[in-house]
Structure 1
Amino acid sequence: MNRDEQVALMRQAFAHIDAGTTDLADAVSFNPVSAYTCPQRLARESALLFRKYPLLLGLSNQIPQPGDHFTDDLSGVPILVARGKDGRARAFHNVCRHRGARVAEGCGRQKNFVCPYHGWTYGLEGELRGIPDQRNFPGLDKAAYGLAPLPLAERHGMLWVQPSVGPEGLEIDAQRFLGELDAEFASFGLAGYHHYETREIRRQLNWKLVIDTFLESYHFSVLHRDSVAPLFHPNLCLFKPFGLHLREVLPRRSLESQRGLPESEWDLIPHHTIVYVLFPNTVFVMQVDHVETWRVYPTPGKVDECTMYLDFHVPNPVDSDSARRHWQRNMDLTIRTVCEEDFPASEGMQRGFASGAQTHATYGRNEPALAYFQRTVAQAVGETTPPGDAA
């Protein structure tokens, strides 16, 4: 984020604090509860959002060396991401071309991928290298039987994969996809971060409700009264849309320490939490001293269940006991806040939506990021009544 943008945001934050205001949407808006409960709506989301768009699957630091790899299945497509001997990251269907078995599990580092069913062997660039008892496959062209590739782009330390091959083939124009956010993410130096830990969390709620909880601070002073609320100015956000994506800046109370300083010395990140939604399903959080990504996926066929990966990325290697204790405390606090406060409340909302008590969820003008996200999703899946059109 460039210096002028940081100063402008801090000016906005001070103005809102002094006036007791926040960024506002143009009007109160409404979202049909069917957005969270309709199986047909979920089917469209799964087919379009989780197949046709680039998904952030991780940061480059998760596969720093040739042979490093990880697998991902939450989009519904078995995906293998690996760094080749040439240093280039690639994505493939995690599917053996012989009989369809998986060729890799989890993450790690290895020289080849060997199918556990019959031993077909693939190189790091996806090429078929070996077939046991090859004489029984006369005429088979090994060059045509490599792992099926998927579009991947590595940019600013981020790994984007599209779970299907679209009209543009294996190309993902990550710069175009990020739009105005491209330069902002370039400034964060993500390539220099280190992966600390990934946690998998499953909850009984629609996948969009997970993202909703990050998109307003209106609930802080009530739901988080005894946890994170004392750290933030409640009901205060700075919101900006970026095409499909959005940014929400949440000022911390420590911002007051900057008031007496000249603007040339103002520092945004230590005194704010910056929340991005990278469409369609990733919440990217720039915290004071680390980066969090929340990658959220629906459970196939279940409107009221989802799985998310919480990834912690930290600025320095975790190579001492004291560092490990520090980051474990941070991770545990994050998990405790969402799993003991946010998600139980959201699971209650999910049951409430299913009860028939109301036809629409209502978003106040002080929840602009939430309304924008839900409207963007609705439009992407062809909903004729996006939030705001009906009460």
Structure 2
Amino acid sequence: MSQEKLLEMTRSLVEHGKADTMELVDEVMAVSASDYTDEDRFEQEKERIFKRLPLMVAPSCELPEPGCYKAMDIAGIPVLVTRQKDGSAQAFLNSCTHRGNPVAQGSGKATRFTCGYHGWTFKNDGDLLAVASPKDFGKVDKAAFCLQKFPTLERAGLIWATLDPQSTLDMEAYLCGYDEMLDHFGFKDWHLFQQRTLPGPNWKTAYDGYLDFYHLPVLHKDTFGSDFFNRANYFFWGPHQRLASPSKFAQKTGSDEELDLTEMEEKDWPIDALMQGVWTIFPHISIASFYGGGGRGAMISQLFPGKTVSESFTTQFYVMEYEPTDDAVRQGAHDQFAFLETVVAEEDYKTGKRQHESLQSGLIDKVWFGRNEGGGQAFHQWVNKLVEADEEELNRIFAPQLQAAE
């Protein structure tokens, strides 16, 4: 079914490309400028979106084998993600059950974690292994002092976690079948080539750019070129969406050559032609395919809110279908990743910071999303909907989405 959906979307993109048209939503939409700048609203978004919904915490290839781990901070919550002995991924509260000190920092490989405060030691699966000076400390039921687990799900080569141990939200239902589409990338077998973290503007200001091709030939005229496409059609799975340019052309795997899909049989359309465009996972992930030195790759951008309404940070993972085995491919991938840093850090995020500073003047009442910006419209509608939903409503929202995807 997911393969047929890919073909259906590609047929639509080809037909619109041939006709020089695009899909438009019904109306222009306004969003209150204060939605970007209000501190109370920002705190509400952290609490009701980032601390309640499943978040993509790592690509699977970041933790390629048992023992691999990474520590991270998400909206003020210390998180530890590990690859356990049985190969499964698990996210924990990175907080010692003795006094709360984090038990891990950075990333690496370890079978156990020892708290740097008093020396309590935990296994890679979160179980409490040892209490320092146990005779002096007193009797402890170790089973009651394991690291606190977060609901965790690994699908399509990506790892999700919900940062609420008591969450009743069905994580598979939340994905609305979108993970089946993402599985066509084949990320579970890909290689993590490089990663870096960039500072950015307000998280929604930053994310608007990932949902927008309209700006490409203007803001990126010096990098992509002023004749670059600026149209996108949008496809939705609940709050998750794909945007792709309506065109009959697709890049040939591993080269700069373009394929005219109308001159090929559908059975010969390559998978990367079917997966072109940008795939976003609400509320904070963008996935875009690229080529570097002949190697097929993708940049997975993982966006989180910062400490204030004006800040965010984005970790960019450059993943490749195959680990480079020669200098030419390796250099090409490095150059591609460096180019993308310029595009995002020097163009997108610098513009976003200036935009946010302007909105903070309080003299602009609304910002606008056109009929050609349906992805941005949908994103803000989902933010509002989920911020306002209580726990019961949250479960109700996503239960029918999974049924619809089936």
Counterpart-to-counterpart distance in 2, 1:45 and 1:161:
17
| Post-superposition CA distance 1:21-41 (Å, at most 9, x none) | 222111111100011001111
Partner of 1:227: 223
| Post-superposition CA distance 1:9-62 (Å, at most 9, x none) | 333233333433222111111100011001111011011111111100112111
1:56–1:160 CA contact under 8 A, matched in 2: yes
Counterpart-to-counterpart distance in 1, 2:278 and 2:143:
45
Question: Which deviates further from its counterpart, 324-333 or 245-254?
Answer: 245-254
Partner of 2:298: 291
After superposition, the Cα gap between the structure-2 partners of 1:126 and 1:3, relative to the gap in structure 1 and judged at 3 Å, is closer
Counterpart-to-counterpart distance in 2, 1:167 and 1:362:
35
2:30–2:368 CA contact under 8 A, matched in 1: yes
Counterpart-to-counterpart distance in 2, 1:206 and 1:133:
47
Q: Map residues 1-391 of structure 1 onto 2, 5 A cutoff.
A: 2-168=2-168, 173-203=170-200, 205-229=201-225, 232=228, 234-250=229-245, 254-255=249-250, 257-258=259-260, 259-267=262-270, 269-270=272-273, 273-287=276-290, 289-300=296-307, 302-382=308-388
| Post-superposition CA distance 1:270-311 (Å, at most 9, x none) | 4873222211221222445222221111112x1111111111
Letter in 2 for 1:184: M
After superposition, the Cα gap between the structure-2 partners of 1:251 and 1:15, relative to the gap in structure 1 and judged at 3 Å, is closer
Q: Which secondary structure state, in structure 2, belongs to the residue aligned with residue 73 of structure 1?
A: strand
Superposed CA RMSD? 2.2
Q: Which secondary structure state, in structure 1, belongs to the residue aligned with residue 311 of structure 2?
A: strand
After superposition, the Cα gap between the structure-2 partners of 1:321 and 1:119, relative to the gap in structure 1 and judged at 3 Å, is farther
Gap runs ≥5 in structure 1: 384-391
Q: Which secondary structure state, in structure 2, belongs to the residue aligned with residue 187 of structure 1?
A: helix
Question: Which deviates further from its counterpart, 356-365 or 242-251?
Answer: 242-251
Structure 2 length as normaliser, TM-score? 0.87
Counterpart-to-counterpart distance in 2, 1:229 and 1:322:
25
| Post-superposition CA distance 1:201-254 (Å, at most 9, x none) | 112x2101111112121112211123224784x222121121121111135785
Structure 1 length as normaliser, TM-score? 0.90
Partner of 2:398: none
Counterpart-to-counterpart distance in 1, 2:69 and 2:227:
38
Compute the displacement of 1:346 (Å). 1.4
Question: Which deviates further from its counterpart, 67-76 or 24-33?
Answer: 67-76
| Post-superposition CA distance 1:321-372 (Å, at most 9, x none) | 3333122111101111112221222112112211233211011101111111
Partner of 2:400: none
Compute the displacement of 1:319 (Å). 4.6
Percent of residue pairs identical: 29
Counterpart-to-counterpart distance in 1, 2:149 and 2:266:
49
Letter in 1 for 2:259: S
After superposition, the Cα gap between the structure-2 partners of 1:244 and 1:98, relative to the gap in structure 1 and judged at 3 Å, is same
Question: Which deviates further from its counterpart, 127-136 or 31-40?
Answer: 127-136
Partner of 2:395: none
